[in-house]
Structure 1
Amino acid sequence: MTTEKNNYTNLFDLSGVGSGFKTILLITLCLLFALITLGGIVRVTDSGLGCPDWPLCYGQFIPPLEDVNYAGELIEVHKIWIEWSHRTLAAITGFPILLVTILAWWKYRKFSLITVPATVALILLIFQVVLGAITVLRELPPEIVTTHLSTAQFIFATLLFMYVILTNKIQPLKDKLIIDKIPNLLRWSIIGAASSFIILISGSYVVGAGAGTSCPNWPLCDNTLLPQLNIQWLHMFHRVVVVVGTITIAIPVIYAYKINIPKITFPGLLVGTFLLAQIFIGALNPASGFHPVFRVLHLSLASALWLASMYLLTITWMYQKQTNLKSEFNLIQLLSDYFELSKPLIILLLLLSALTGMIIAEQGLPQIHLIATVLVAGALASAGANAINNFMDRDIDTVMSRTKSRPVAGSRVSPTNALIFGIVLNVISFVAFWTIVNLLSALLTLGATLFYVFIYTLWLKRTSTQNIVIGGAAGALPPIIGWAAVQGSIGLPSLYLFAIIFFWTPPHFWALSILLEKDYANANIPMLNVVMGIEETRKFIMMHSIILVALTILFYTVPQLGLFYLVSALILDVYFLYLGIKLWQSQDHLSARKLYLYSLLYLMLLLIAVMISSGFGI
């Protein structure tokens, strides 16, 4: 125990670092914040191309003192000087960052908590310089401008991390009640910091895309719930991101307040203050007619909120480390747990079926941004539904050997966090579908989640032998969602795909339930084989397999498919029926295992055949 405590003391004992280094670091942070604020002024005044060349300004170190006619466009002198001032301050700020890195390696190389962030900041600075040049030479594309701002924020956060560690002496906690709260505070501090960054960057992109002033009212847009223009949808999407992000940012603030330790409460108070101020200024922006002062203040407060969140995160991490080495927060483990919570293997098959619906609807490859949105938003919805399923099934999962190690059942993720995680993901998914794709796909996706959570998980799974039959409708909806995303309607081919997956689901899961019969019996889940026996289950598997095969052949009648699909489907169907017959005739688990594993490959290959046949017209 003594050794562990000494390890912590050594880690945070930076008493050998001189006050001069801390002063340089503080000056650098002040310059960075001023630079980011000045960058906001550049954006608001539309001065980004005030100096259209780089690194000079009209080929000069000192810019002109009057308006300039450049490429047939009159560029006002104040825009020239605003942009030049921003570049000059950026150049000045680069020197203390370089100095911090040199001093870190020259005088304090034994302190990894100084050398690592200093080096990262310098690398980011070099990247930032390159981005600055690209931003000007490519005439301010919003993606590059947003990346430029993101890099500046990461430089700031990296140096702030170092400064907080240097200026705070953390004593190990002794109160068990407080110690128990630190891990949750740390988790939510990470989520809160990420949310504040997403809010900041999404707002930057909205401004860069010309949508910053597209909604002159608040909270509605042009006094309507549904905007009329695409840029208004983009603006409203940012507002929704802010609403969701506000919730996740507020949670660590509440935790920090309850812990009641000054070093934690203070940054928590800063986060809460900046959050409220940001909301107020955000609402005031439309009311003021998007006055430049309020727009600049909005960006500055967003930066301050992000940095305060990082301050809280750093302090909390220090307490976690200092208190107990064994309870050290493991970010990789946390991400792994939440990744597992989402059941990624299930998501892959759902996304493949959604993509199939899109390709057959387009009879080719839809627009890349549409595919990306559907797949990302669909993955979020599926992950969210699976997280909520983990929350609701935690009592069952602890009993079954197959599921007892899941994050919630294994007590690695709290039930409340799993539920919040699932809800937040579905809210984001719905908003993304609605704003970027269309309302129909958003409603279908939400309907799939609600059906899976309430109809299947809460009701059918625990009460009916037909649980997986009816409940399978949720997993069969992605092709319809994909079709709706492209066509804005529901078409016959997507209904065929729905039916195919609907009738594929029972043989797949009943084969699995035969393998896990004891597990399901112990958990009191009325799977067909548990209630009616394996003999009856094999008959139902065979019946559904025959219907499945018939549907795959009938599917060939739609005009979007060609001979390639039919041949592929027949080959896949023959072996599926063969395995179904083998299971019907035998009593062994080996046949059930073969059918279960092949059914996964079967559906994947069938969907790929549909995409190839419809996409290439063969």
Structure 2
Amino acid sequence: MNQDNYRIWVAVTFALSLCVIALGAYTRLTEAGLGCPDWPGCYGFAGVPKSETQQALAATRFPDAPLEADKAWNEMLHRYVAGTLGLMILALNVMAWRRPSRPKGLPALLLATVIFQALLGMWTVTMDLMPVVVMGHLLGGFTTASLLFLLWLRLGTTSSPPSSVRASSGLQAFALFGLLVVIGQIALGGWTAANYAAVVCTQLPLCEVDWRQSFDTSAFGLIQPEHETYQYGVLDYQQRVTIHVTHRIGAMVTAFVLLSLACLLWQQRALRGVAGVMMVVLVGQIVLGITNVVASLPLSVAVAHNVTAVLLLLSLVAVNLQVHRMRQLGRYPNRIASRMGS
């Protein structure tokens, strides 16, 4: 397989990773995370039990988890597509090692990530939706998509920027800061969802209750007391309000940081494209977040909010790579320009 076809394979794998993220969000939002009480099968079968005999056997095996076919199919579809993604990433590694010129580090890191992601998927079920595991599973999915996107960008051929184009160390540091802020906000969103705190506040801009007087930092304890199940959440009302309000404040901080970053990027003509994409995605994400509050978390909007979050993360990955390339061009103009033009 030549380099162009390899990059197409990476692009298809990346697109599938976005589908897995969307399906994961849909599975969680339809309360199908425990649609199958075991892993990797479903009630002891490779697929959802269909016949009356299979369903009777499923009821015998898991008497405390009655079969709900719709939820079980949601869960198994997510597992099937995620499994396909894992096989495609394995194939990426095989193809990378067959050609010395292809990068090896990123495919290997992707394979390690997707293996750990599979473990998190198993623990999500076996630990009955423990919030720290659910949040970790979401972050693992976003990491997989980001690494695939980064690999696709690095495989691309890019013409050399004008010799006058440079990126300062300050801009590079602020771009990295923006990336870290977005990752932190995504983690807050994952923690909000995992603790069922998404609709605990129904008014804007923060909350209808006096959250300042009852702000409870224990809401962010990653290791929660053991419960038989964490489905529908185990934290009290004030703790959920604390999580929700912190997520909203985080959204405001993120918007301010990215707006500041966009202003800095806009000063460089070569960076205006990625700055514009970043701002369009940010505005879309803000609109979706407000709609979630006003319309009480519609399923389609909530799924779109998850997908747009990963798109925002990817835009920051692109920004950081572009700034890094320009920074390197300033340090090693001859070497970097010849590499980018090859």
1:283 is aligned to 2:268: no
Equivalent in the alignment of 2:340: none
1:135 and 1:141 in contact (8 A); partners too: yes
Equivalent in the alignment of 1:76: 68
Q: 1:312 aligns with which of 319, 322, 329?
A: 319
Q: 1:189 aligns with which of 159, 168, 175?
A: 175
Q: 1:11-30, aligned counterparts within 5 Å?
A: 18-30=3-15
Q: What do the CA deviations read for 1:491-549 (whole angstroms, capped 9, x no partner)?
A: xxxxxxxxxxxxxxxxxxxxxxxxxxxxxxxxxxxxxxxxxxxxxxxxxxxxxxxxxxx
Deviation at 1:34, TM superposition (A): 0.6
Q: What do the CA deviations read for 1:281-339 (whole angstroms, capped 9, x no partner)?
A: 1111111121111111111111110111111111221222234239x9xxxxxxxxxxx
Equivalent in the alignment of 1:324: 331
Equivalent in the alignment of 1:202: 188
Equivalent in the alignment of 1:131: 120
2:211 and 2:241 in contact (8 A); partners too: no
Q: 1:165-564, aligned counterparts within 5 Å?
A: 165-175=154-164, 178-179=165-166, 181-222=167-208, 226=212, 229-261=238-270, 264-325=271-332
Closer/same/farther in 2, CA of residues 168 and 250 from structure 1, 3 Å limit: farther
Percent identity over the alignment is 23
Deviation at 1:249, TM superposition (A): 2.0
Letter in 2 for 1:238: H
Equivalent in the alignment of 2:25: 40
* Range moving further from structure 2, 72-81 or 274-283: 72-81
Letter in 2 for 1:129: A
Deviation at 1:256, TM superposition (A): 2.1
1:197 and 1:306 in contact (8 A); partners too: yes
Deviation at 1:218, TM superposition (A): 2.1
Which secondary structure state, in structure 2, belongs to the residue aligned with residue 272 of structure 1? helix
Size of the aligned set, in residue pairs, is: 304
1:212 and 1:235 in contact (8 A); partners too: yes
Equivalent in the alignment of 2:44: 59
1:141 is aligned to 2:148: no
1:188 and 1:251 in contact (8 A); partners too: no
Tell me how far apart the structure 2 counterparts of residues 259 and 253 of structure 1 sit (CA, whole Å).
10
Deviation at 1:222, TM superposition (A): 2.6
Which secondary structure state, in structure 2, belongs to the residue aligned with residue 165 of structure 1? helix
Deviation at 1:26, TM superposition (A): 0.2
Q: What do the CA deviations read for 1:133-167 (whole angstroms, capped 9, x no partner)?
A: 11111111110111111122222212211111222
Equivalent in the alignment of 1:91: 83
2:211 and 2:242 in contact (8 A); partners too: no
Compare relative contact order (CA 8 Å, sep 6+) and give the higher one, 1 or 2: 2
Which secondary structure state, in structure 1, belongs to the residue aligned with residue 105 of structure 2? helix
Letter in 2 for 1:259: Q
User: Please, what is the CA RMSD of the aligned residues?
Assistant: 2.2
Deviation at 1:172, TM superposition (A): 4.6
Normalising by structure 1, we get a TM-score of 0.47
Which secondary structure state, in structure 2, belongs to the residue aligned with residue 229 of structure 1? helix
Equivalent in the alignment of 1:418: none
Deviation at 1:243, TM superposition (A): 1.3
Letter in 1 for 2:18: F
Tell me how far apart the structure 1 counterparts of residues 107 and 83 of structure 2 sit (CA, whole Å).
18
Letter in 2 for 1:197: I
Q: What do the CA deviations read for 1:557-593 (whole angstroms, capped 9, x no partner)?
A: xxxxxxxxxxxxxxxxxxxxxxxxxxxxxxxxxxxxx
* Range moving further from structure 2, 28-37 or 124-133: 124-133
Closer/same/farther in 2, CA of residues 246 and 17 from structure 1, 3 Å limit: farther
Closer/same/farther in 2, CA of residues 266 and 240 from structure 1, 3 Å limit: same
Letter in 2 for 1:249: L
1:41 and 1:296 in contact (8 A); partners too: yes
2:206 and 2:248 in contact (8 A); partners too: no
Bigger Cα Rg: 1
Tell me how far apart the structure 2 counterparts of residues 187 and 215 of structure 1 sit (CA, whole Å).
35
Tell me how far apart the structure 1 counterparts of residues 315 and 206 of structure 2 sit (CA, whole Å).
29
Q: 1:50 aligns with which of 6, 27, 35?
A: 35
Q: What do the CA deviations read for 1:97-128 (whole angstroms, capped 9, x no partner)?
A: 11111111111x344xx211111111111111
Tell me how far apart the structure 2 counterparts of residues 116 and 173 of structure 1 sit (CA, whole Å).
30
Find runs of 4+ consecutive structure 1 residues off by over 6 angstroms. Answer: none
Which secondary structure state, in structure 1, belongs to the residue aligned with residue 104 of structure 2? helix
Letter in 1 for 2:280: T
Question: Which structure is higher in helix share?
Answer: 1
Tell me how far apart the structure 1 counterparts of residues 319 and 2 of structure 2 sit (CA, whole Å).
23
1:211 and 1:232 in contact (8 A); partners too: yes
1:213 and 1:286 in contact (8 A); partners too: yes
Tell me how far apart the structure 1 counterparts of residues 114 and 17 of structure 2 sit (CA, whole Å).
11
Deviation at 1:74, TM superposition (A): 3.6
Letter in 2 for 1:265: R
Closer/same/farther in 2, CA of residues 225 and 123 from structure 1, 3 Å limit: closer
1:192 and 1:250 in contact (8 A); partners too: no
Q: 1:104-119, aligned counterparts within 5 Å?
A: 104-107=96-99, 109-111=100-102, 114-119=103-108
* Unaligned ranges ≥5, structure 1: 1-15, 329-618
